[in-house]
Amino acid sequence: MTAARHYLALCGGVGGAKLALGLSHVLPPDQLTIVVNNGDDFDYLGLTICPDLDTVTYTLAGLAHPQQGWGRDEESWAAQAVQQALGVEPWFQLGDKDLGLHLARRAMLDAGQPLSAVTASITRGFGIAHAVSPMTDDTVRTLVDTDAGLLPFQDYFVRQRCAPVVRRLCYPGADSARPAPSFLAALNDPQLAGVIICPSNPYLSIDPVLALPGVRPALRQLAAPVIAVAPIVSGSAIKGPTAKIMRELGLDPSALAVARHYGDLLDGYIIDAGDMSAARQSGATLPLHACDIIMKTLDDKIRLARHCLDFANELAHRPRAGG
Amino acid sequence: MTAARHYLALCGGVGGAKLALGLSHVLPPDQLTIVVNNGDDFDYLGLTICPDLDTVTYTLAGLAHPQQGWGRDEESWAAQAVQQALGVEPWFQLGDKDLGLHLARRAMLDAGQPLSAVTASITRGFGIAHAVSPMTDDTVRTLVDTDAGLLPFQDYFVRQRCAPVVRRLCYPGADSARPAPSFLAALNDPQLAGVIICPSNPYLSIDPVLALPGVRPALRQLAAPVIAVAPIVSGSAIKGPTAKIMRELGLDPSALAVARHYGDLLDGYIIDAGDMSAARQSGATLPLHACDIIMKTLDDKIRLARHCLDFANELAHRPRAGG
């Protein structure tokens, strides 16, 4: 591996953030760009909340709450306690330190900075050396079409706790949104050695990224391999509503069904070792790599990150099936 | 005094809030309406900040910081510390608990409630039994015309610390703003026994209230006396930039000059005992009442409140000079 090789990770929130953290431990800052879904962003009490970006930021900074899957560790709740005392029951939890991030972002956005520049300032401010970028500086707002109506993502995810039955996902704004500068730069980098689609929800977290103009064609035309890590192990989502949504969309919630969803974008797929025999039986022709993909400890994340890089490098030296 | 007698207090921030607190101790909740300037309101990081309303609210709730003249006592600063760590230096200080109030107000305003209803909810939420209302639910934004240009009030007051030389004040929006419902109700209450203009800055805090359509005529036509408490003692403002602004406007910063500014609105004026001989020498014809008007302790505030009520009652039983 030469020093100039570069990797691009595409991710959403919790699951993706874990692998992004692993990758940040095995790649130096100049060799990794982490592009994060921001179709989940929403405006709340005058603030622009970017749930996936913030989860990635807090995870990389070592500030994420270890269990709850959102927000900061060692958070305080003075502001929210006052809101509640005044009869306002917040449907989105905002701790004091988290509020500090949102207010800083509000100040920078109000000063005219694009979200990607704001994100770069924030991640640097938290001591993160690796490049973290929203997928776009433009506004994309994931909508979930459900039996309870067309819901903004956070309404579906937080307010309604994923209870409504999903019929369709759509990404208004994606058609005319431009990928953020460092996303474009990574896609066009001649030293790009691999793209890693992290184990995030394919419908809620990855598809908005892929929906941006030019992204799918760019991934298909890349010389470097595109791999994904399954967000499903033994038919269950590692985290979040992936399996539930797949069933509601009429799909069998298996690791391989996610690979079929990504289709010809993928040059390889990493699945849990326990799913390998089922995958072989299915007659999949996509190159598969099996390992333990559940990330509990930092060591798990680093180990899976190494598997990703090794698999991408192995694929780069194989004749490609589709290319 | 019968149970139904009602008093209306007009006030701005710190000085006015002190007398409002005194009045709230000597009048039961159904006998006092406190109307607060909200020409100082401004939008900041997505929040609507109402400095005078908040100072009055925190003062009446016993939550005001005892020295600094803004914000809460026993405040925490986790959100602001994060902003600063991210390189955003806030020009307006927002503690965590204070943020809770602003976020609650944002939520209620976003739900379509007028500011007066929001303020009623907030003051009730803080356990305040007396009626506190913004002067208007409409938008009035005090501008300070200075040698450094036309500045929004908070820019002049907080960012520039009142350093620019004031040439003129203006209250855009006041022309078409409607006094808030409880302000109108108090002005039209047949049981109104007195109006007390608190010792607030006449130009920055009281004139915006008086600039609302119908307020000056209503005060002039009232059967009940209108009195003011001097915001100046021995030629110095008790608090804030009143004396500086008066000098810049070409006025002698004396207690009586403030009375002349209010002109024929006043039926009586309360000045500090130390200013009485100078006032007598000036040949003022306005009924004056002298007492110690500096409010340091709660007892001072209650005592001055009693002077206000006694003086108003005395004036109500005197033949009035202006008819």
pLDDT, residue A321, reads 54
d(CA A94, CA A99): 6
Contact B104 A126 (CB under 8 A): no
d(CA B216, CA B47): 31
Q: Is the Cβ–Cβ distance between B131 and B119 less than 8 Å?
A: no
pLDDT, residue A318, reads 80
Select from B85, B107, B108 the Cβ nearest to the Cβ of A125.
Answer: B85
Residue A67 pLDDT exceeds 90: no
Partner A contacted by B83 (CB < 8 A): yes
Say which CATH superfamily domain A6-41+129-316 falls into: CofD-like domains (3.40.50.10680)
As a whole number of angstroms, the longest Cα–Cα distance in chain A is 65
d(CA B45, CA A259): 43
Confidence of residue A2 (pLDDT cuts 50, 70, 90): very low
pLDDT, residue B321, reads 54
Confidence of residue B1 (pLDDT cuts 50, 70, 90): very low
Select from B47, B82, B125 the Cβ nearest to the Cβ of A97.
Answer: B82
Touching A: B residues 28-47, CB under 8 Å: 45-47
- B237 versus A45: which is more confidently predicted? A45
Q: Among A22, A34, A39, A29, which Cα is nearest to A3's?
A: A29
Residue A75 pLDDT exceeds 90: yes
Using a 10 angstrom Cβ sphere, with 0-12 exposed, 13-18 middle and 19 or more buried, the burial of residue B291 is middle
Partner B contacted by A126 (CB < 8 A): yes
- B143 versus A279: which is more confidently predicted? B143
Residue to test with chain A: of B75, B93, B103, B110, most A Cβ within 10 A: B103
Touching B: A residues 144-163, CB under 8 Å: none
Residue to test with chain A: of B96, B102, B123, most A Cβ within 10 A: B96
pLDDT, residue B3, reads 45
Select from A83, A101, A110 the Cβ nearest to the Cβ of B104.
Answer: A83
Confidence of residue B309 (pLDDT cuts 50, 70, 90): very high
CA B2 to chain CA centroid, nearest Å: 27
Give the distance from residue B180's alpha carbon to the nearest chain A alpha carbon, in angstroms.
21
Select from A82, A100, A103 the Cβ nearest to the Cβ of B104.
Answer: A82
Question: Which CA distances in Å does A274 have to A22, A204, A279, B150, B248?
Answer: 22, 25, 10, 70, 81
Run of H or E including A36: strand A32-36
Give the distance from residue B121's alpha carbon to the nearest chain A alpha carbon, in angstroms.
7
When computed from its CA atoms, the radius of gyration of chain A, rounded to whole angstroms, is 19
Select from A46, A76, A85 the Cβ nearest to the Cβ of B76.
Answer: A76
d(CA B192, CA B200): 22
Torsions phi, psi for A83 (to 5 deg): -55, -45
CA A46 to chain CA centroid, nearest Å: 25
Taking residues B11-18, report their average pLDDT: 93
Residue B88 pLDDT exceeds 80: yes
d(CA A94, CA A72): 10
Q: Among B310, B319, B305, B323, which Cα is nearest to B19's?
A: B305
pLDDT tens per residue across span B30-54:
999 999 999 999 999 999 999 999 9
Confidence of residue B128 (pLDDT cuts 50, 70, 90): very high
* Predicted model pTM: 0.93
Give the distance from residue A221's alpha carbon to the nearest chain B alpha carbon, in angstroms.
38
d(CA A219, CA A212): 12
Residue B69 pLDDT exceeds 50: yes
Partner B contacted by A118 (CB < 8 A): no
Minimum Cα–Cα distance from B102: chain A residue? A83
Q: Over chain B, what is the mean pLDDT?
A: 94
Q: Among A237, A243, A233, A131, which Cα is nearest to A189's?
A: A131
Residue B188 pLDDT exceeds 70: yes
In this structure, of A5-19, A194-208, A278-292, B21-35, the range with the lowest mean pLDDT score is A278-292
Q: B6-62+115-316 has which fold?
A: Rossmann fold (3.40.50)
Where do the domains of chain B lie?
6-62+115-316
Minimum Cα–Cα distance from B107: chain A residue? A45
Residue B129 pLDDT exceeds 50: yes
Q: Among A169, A135, A174, A176, which Cα is nearest to A151's?
A: A169
Partners of A106 on chain B (C-beta within 8 Å) are 45-46
Q: Is the Cβ–Cβ distance between B147 and B165 less than 8 Å?
A: yes
d(CA A122, CA A108): 10
Q: Among A113, A117, A134, A114, which Cα is nearest to A125's?
A: A117
Confidence of residue A4 (pLDDT cuts 50, 70, 90): low
Residue A160 pLDDT exceeds 80: yes
d(CA A129, CA A132): 9
Q: Which residues pair with A311 in a beta bridge?
A: none
pLDDT tens per residue across span B197-210:
999 999 999 999 99
Confidence of residue B323 (pLDDT cuts 50, 70, 90): very low
Confidence of residue B320 (pLDDT cuts 50, 70, 90): low
Taking residues B84-98, report their average pLDDT: 95
Q: Helix (H, G, I), strand (E, B), or coil: what is residue B111?
A: coil
pLDDT, residue B239, reads 73
Taking residues B252-257, report their average pLDDT: 92
Q: Over chain A, what is the mean pLDDT?
A: 94
